[in-house]
Amino acid sequence: MENEVRKPANFIEEFIEQDLASGRFDHVQTRFPPEPNGYLHIGHCKALCVDFGIAEKFGGKCNLRFDDTNPTKEETAFVEGIQRDIEWLGYKWDKLYFASDFFDRLYEIAKDMIRRGVAYVDDQSPEEMRANRGTLTKPGVNSPYRDRPVAENLDLFERMKNGEFEEGSRVLRAKIDMANPNVLLRDPTMYRINRHTHHRTGDKWCIYPMYDFQHPIQDAIEGISHSLCSLEYEIHRPLYDWFVANANVTDQPPRQIEFARLNIERTVLSKRHLRRLVEEHVVSGWDDPRMPTLVAMRRRGYPAAAIHDFMGRVGVAKADSVVEGNLLDHCVREALADTAPRAMAVINPLKVVLTNWPADKTDTLTIENHPDHPEFGTRQVTFGRELYIEREDFMEEPVKKFFRLAPGREVRLKGAYIVKCEDFVKDESGAIVELRCTVDLDSRSGSEGANRKVKGTLHWVNAADAVPAEFRLYEPILKEDDDNAVTVDEDGNTVEASGDFLDKLNPNSLTVVKGFCEPWIAGHDVGATFQFLRMGYFCKDPDSTDALPVFNRTVPLKDSWAKEAKK
Ligand code: ATP
Ligand code: MG
């Protein structure tokens, strides 16, 4: 193994190999730095896979750091949720840090920078600062306070900290270059006044460090070798390097490397947008199964293995792209294929009466729980005169290639008997409410007559003991692709480029239907996953009651009929 030549799997690994070979670093230390202002979404998983995966690959370590420098939206509940999500994915962090643990240290570093003449207190209003920043084509204008003496800066900064000034009245800025072609380097803000109570430090502070100042210095203090982040931070890299160089905290500056964000078709992957969905009650909460958050995916029934598989397939690239939503569905199906027992539920029921089956007769059938896994065992399913089948499994006038039930047609009821549709009953509105069928009593599955072949096999439940159940069916939350382009604001928050995404919501993202399931299924715990024959994979939801189990459709099966019908 020692001599084996390891091929880098992506450009990040290539950079790291170079850094280890050149002696720039002799170890790999990464970090995952979420802001605790929401729950993790599948986009964060990509960063997690990169941060933890790279550390593991190079025998290094990855810290978990909560970037809690903006008290306005941060909460302890998110801190706890994020840790649960990371553990669920199976990652183990090395050290756990909070940026807020370093507020004292950062304050001292800022004062030191003032003393060395590379930071100053600016009294300009936010509007004046904005106006004087210049544009991409026009250089900025120096602040009239840029050259105030060190002692005055130190005094004002201390008074900012002591709460003597209003929010927005003063900031601490780095003295870099107001004419720099990269606007971010035009004397960026290091500290601003914010009087919100912080989720950990309470009211101890009323000044908070800005992302561009805090993040690189925190990386340096933690001894991070490779600071891996998404592509929108690329233009922040000169600033990152400047702060590390000017903070005097390390002689081994960390290296920032950017990779493409994960975007998925018709999926919202901006925490800010996700917050809006929650706050404006478009969804029931962060764990609404339509959300792309890990809490929601877990509730919907996605196994962690599917997410790892997905991330492996998406890979790590330097250029942005949008991944098809189908790919994640595919990974979920693959992960569940061998783990979810098969069962029967009818989500849109149509009653079937077997006219030649005595009303008081019940047959008990033994059905295997998984066709490929005998170790999953079998279960007993009762069969009587009245059953339910799926409404879409009957057509009064069958179209070509429809092999399910129609007048005069025969199908096999899964694991049971062959039945033939003799007649049907309509209500006043013309809707079909009942099928009248005869059953071939010699065709019981497992018996001799069972060898007779019919084209279609349908799932069903026995009306006498079927349990009423609710089924929640999902579609992507957006009806069309959102513009996923993002930039980063001064708080390090990702800001979307254009339009109001609420206009793009898919009105059919949730469909609730009432049907029936086998009694066996109803008795399982919340979180249990099944494949309901032909209907897809479903997971029992926490909203379930004893009277009404609720199932989320995790993912539909690939519907061969839908494909046929399109031909
Ligand atoms: P915001 O900054 O608006 O709160 P965010 O999605 O950037 O939202 P952070 O908590 O700052 O959330 O992100 C933590 C880490 O996850 C960052 O390093 C960020 O680059 C990374 N990240 C977030 N979204 C994605 C994504 N879609 N693809 C890859 N990495 C992402
Ligand atoms: Mg961010």
Residue type, 241: D
SS3 state of residue 200:
coil
Q: Which is nearest to 284 in space by CA: 550, 485, 557, 43? A: 550
Ligand 1 atom, smallest distance to 48 CA: 16
- pLDDT, one tens digit per residue, over 293-347 is 999 999 999 999 999 999 999 988 888 778 888 899 999 999 999 999 999 999 9
Q: Which tokens hold the place of 126?
A: 């936010």
SS3 state of residue 414:
coil
- Name the band, by pLDDT with cuts 50, 70 and 90, for residue 1: very low
- pLDDT, one tens digit per residue, over 497-524 is 556 778 889 999 999 999 999 999 998 9
User: Which of 259, 289, 324 represents a domain boundary (last residue)?
Assistant: 259
The active-site residue, picked from 65, 271, 290, 534, is 271
Q: What pLDDT sits at residue 2?
A: 44
- Average pLDDT of span 29-51: 96
- Average pLDDT of span 198-204: 95
Q: Could you tell me the distance, in angstroms and rounded to a whole number, from the CA of residue 35 to the centre of ligand 2?
A: 7
> Which of 31-45, 216-230, 385-399, 436-450 has the lowest average pLDDT?
436-450
Q: Which tokens hold the place of 122?
A: 């600016």
User: Which of 240, 259, 278 represents a domain boundary (last residue)?
Assistant: 259
- pLDDT, one tens digit per residue, over 73-111 is 888 999 999 999 999 999 999 999 999 999 999 999 999
Answer yes or no: are the C-beta atoms of 375 and 448 closer than 8 Å: no
- Quick check: is 553 catalytic? no
In terms of phi and psi (left: phi > 0; alpha: psi -120 to 50; beta: otherwise), the region of 499 is: left
Instruction: Give dist(CA 5, CA 373) in Å, integer.
Output: 40
71 in a structural domain: yes
199 DSSP 8-state letter? T
5 in a structural domain: no
Enumerate residues lining ligand 1, CB below 6 A. 33-35, 37, 43-44, 46-47, 229-230, 261-262, 269-272, 492-494
- Quick check: is 92 catalytic? no
Q: Could you tell me the distance, in angstroms and rounded to a whole number, from the CA of residue 504 to the centre of ligand 1?
A: 22
Answer yes or no: are the C-beta atoms of 123 and 152 closer than 8 Å: no
In the structure, ligand 2 is a single-atom ion and the residues with CB under 5 Å from it are 494
Whether 561 has a pLDDT exceeding 80, the answer reads: no
Q: Of the residues 32, 488, 489, 494, which should be mutated to test ligand 1's pocket, given the most ligand atoms within 8 Å of the CB?
A: 494
Q: What pLDDT sits at residue 104?
A: 98
- Name the band, by pLDDT with cuts 50, 70 and 90, for residue 543: very high
Same domain, 70 and 163: yes
Give me the phi and psi of 271, to 5 degrees please.
-60, -35
| Maximum CA extent, the chain | 101
Answer yes or no: are the C-beta atoms of 237 and 259 closer than 8 Å: no
Q: What pLDDT sits at residue 531?
A: 97
Same domain, 287 and 429: no
Same domain, 450 and 516: no
**CB neighbour burial string for 316-352, b if at least 16 within 10 angstroms, e if fewer:** beeebeebebeebbbbbbebbeeebbbbbbbbebbbb
- Name the band, by pLDDT with cuts 50, 70 and 90, for residue 121: very high
User: Which of 259, 278, 299 represents a domain boundary (last residue)?
Assistant: 259
Ligand 1 atom, smallest distance to 33 CA: 14
Answer yes or no: are the C-beta atoms of 388 and 347 closer than 8 Å: no
- pLDDT, one tens digit per residue, over 43-65 is 999 999 999 999 999 999 999 99
Same domain, 477 and 506: yes
Q: How many domains does the chain have?
A: 3
Q: What pLDDT sits at residue 458?
A: 96
464 in a structural domain: no
**Residue 206 CB contacts under 8 Å (≥ 6 apart), including other chains:** 160, 161, 163, 193, 194, 195
- Average pLDDT of span 432-442: 96
**CB neighbour burial string for 102-139, b if at least 16 within 10 angstroms, e if fewer:** bbeebbebbbebbeeebbbbbebeeeebeebbeeeeee
In the chain, % of residues over pLDDT 70: 94
Q: Which tokens hold the place of 330?
A: 């595919």
Q: What string of DSSP letters covers 43-83?
A: HHHHHHHHHHHHHHHTT-EEEEEE----TTT--HHHHHHHH
Q: Residue holding tokens 């009294």?
A: 123
The CATH number of whichever domain residue 37 belongs to comes to 3.40.50.620
- pLDDT, one tens digit per residue, over 242-288 is 999 999 999 999 999 999 999 998 888 888 889 999 999 999 999 99
**Residue ID of nearest Cα to ligand 1 atom 2:** 493
Partner residues linked to 43 by β-bridges? none
The CATH number of whichever domain residue 477 belongs to comes to 2.40.240.10
Cα radius of gyration rounded to whole Å, the chain: 31
Q: Which is more confidently placed, 319 or 428?
A: 428
Ligand 1 atom, smallest distance to 488 CA: 2
Q: Could you tell me the distance, in angstroms and rounded to a whole number, from the CA of residue 491 to the centre of ligand 2?
A: 8
Ligand 1 atom, smallest distance to 261 CA: 28
Same domain, 350 and 335: no
Same domain, 279 and 420: no
Sheet containing strand 189-193, strands side by side: 119-122, 171-174, 189-193, 207-209
Q: What pLDDT sits at residue 447?
A: 86
**Residue ID of nearest Cα to ligand 1 atom 10:** 34
206 in a structural domain: yes
Structural domain of residue 350, as residue ranges? 345-459
Residue type, 131: A
The active-site residue, picked from 192, 200, 261, 534, is 261
- Closest ligand to C-alpha of residue 494 is 1
Same domain, 356 and 423: yes
Q: Which tokens hold the place of 259?
A: 């990779």
Q: Which is nearest to 132 in space by CA: 178, 78, 190? A: 178
Same domain, 87 and 38: yes
Answer yes or no: are the C-beta atoms of 36 and 75 closer than 8 Å: yes
- pLDDT, one tens digit per residue, over 164-200 is 999 999 999 999 999 999 999 999 999 999 999 999 9
The active-site residue, picked from 13, 35, 232, 390, is 35
Q: What pLDDT sits at residue 567?
A: 46
**Residue ID of nearest Cα to ligand 1 atom 13:** 34
- Quick check: is 35 catalytic? yes
- Average pLDDT of span 443-451: 85
Q: What pLDDT sits at residue 316?
A: 87
Q: Could you tell me the distance, in angstroms and rounded to a whole number, from the CA of residue 493 to the centre of ligand 1?
A: 8
Instruction: Give dist(CA 46, CA 151) in Å, integer.
Output: 46
4 in a structural domain: no
Instruction: Give dist(CA 453, CA 472) in Å, integer.
Output: 34
3 in a structural domain: no
499 in a structural domain: yes
Q: Which is nearest to 418 in space by CA: 395, 445, 385? A: 445
Same domain, 386 and 532: no
Same domain, 205 and 288: no
- Average pLDDT of span 393-408: 95
Q: What pLDDT sits at residue 540?
A: 98
Q: Could you tell me the distance, in angstroms and rounded to a whole number, from the CA of residue 489 to the centre of ligand 2?
A: 9
- Name the band, by pLDDT with cuts 50, 70 and 90, for residue 487: low
Same domain, 27 and 57: yes
- Average pLDDT of span 437-457: 89
**Within 10 A of 482 (CB to CB), how many other CB atoms are there?**
23
Mean predicted lDDT score pLDDT of the chain: 93
Q: Could you tell me the distance, in angstroms and rounded to a whole number, from the CA of residue 492 to the centre of ligand 2?
A: 5
Same domain, 385 and 304: no
In the chain, % of residues over pLDDT 90: 84
2 in a structural domain: no
